[in-house]
Amino acid sequence: MSGRLSPALRAFLNPKTYLQAVRLLYFASYSHVQQVAKLNRGENVSFAPNVSFRNAERITIGAGSHIGEHSVIWAGNSTGRIVFGEKCLLAPNVTLTASNYATVPGEFVMDQPKIEEDIIVGRDVWLGANTVVVAGVTIGDGAIIAAGAVVTKDVPAGAIAGGVPARVIGWRDPALAPQEVAA
């Protein structure tokens, strides 16, 4: 090595490497381990060990549901709840937040009051990878949300929704789709 340490050995000997490991353990504790103990969850609920929860005492997960890797489920700080029905399936990197900031001009966004509204996800709902669901949204039973969608408004039961912002693009059972009225 001609007098120079390899990058791997330098990283191993650097005390900041160990400080970062401690920070990661702390994050895992407060965003997952401590929060999981507060969840209201049904039988056979599963989630990846890197799912991040906040204010889990206001999160309910229905029986048989699964939350994929790197998902973020954040209830509001004081009132905003997140409720999942039975057998919901969340792909990786799904984000739900029951809290949002006001947007009054002339004030820093982060200094503005939070607006909290419940998120209700029905039974048998599938949220595709990288889906975002914002405060105040209800997703009906049996709905499917396409990967990458941003859900800003309610989605009816049985609908397939996608896009930014999400809109209904189809139906799981076309026979149950609302019928268009001829003009």
Q: Residue 183 pLDDT more than 60?
A: no
64 burial (CB, 10 Å; 0-12 / 13-18 / 19+) is middle
| DSSP letter, residue 155 | B
112: in domain: yes
Place of tokens 């702390």: 26
90: in domain: yes
Rounded-to-integer distance, Cα 149 and Cα 21, Å: 34
pLDDT of residue 108: 93
Q: Residue 159 pLDDT more than 80?
A: yes
- Higher-confidence position of 1 and 21: 21
33: in domain: no
Number of domains forming the structure of the chain: 1
| DSSP letter, residue 113 | P
79: in domain: yes
**pLDDT range class, residue 172, cuts 50, 70, 90:** very high
Rounded-to-integer distance, Cα 125 and Cα 108, Å: 36
27: in domain: no
**pLDDT range class, residue 151, cuts 50, 70, 90:** very high
134: in domain: yes
Rounded-to-integer distance, Cα 46 and Cα 53, Å: 14
Q: Residue 3 pLDDT more than 70?
A: no
Share of the chain above pLDDT 70, in %: 96
Rounded-to-integer distance, Cα 17 and Cα 3, Å: 22
Q: Which residues contact 113 (CB under 8 A, 6 or more apart)?
A: 101, 102
pLDDT of residue 16: 87
Kindly report the pTM of this predicted structure. Answer: 0.86
Rounded-to-integer distance, Cα 40 and Cα 123, Å: 16
Q: Residue 26 pLDDT more than 90?
A: no
22: in domain: no
Place of tokens 């906040």: 54
Domain that holds residue 145: 38-173
Q: What is the CATH number of the domain that holds 169?
A: 2.160.10.10
Query: 10 Å Cβ neighbour count for 39?
Result: 16
pLDDT in tens, 49-100: 999 999 999 999 999 999 999 999 999 999 999 999 999 999 999 999 999 9
Q: Residue 4 pLDDT more than 50?
A: yes
pLDDT of residue 1: 47
CB 177 within 8 A of CB 157: no
6: in domain: no
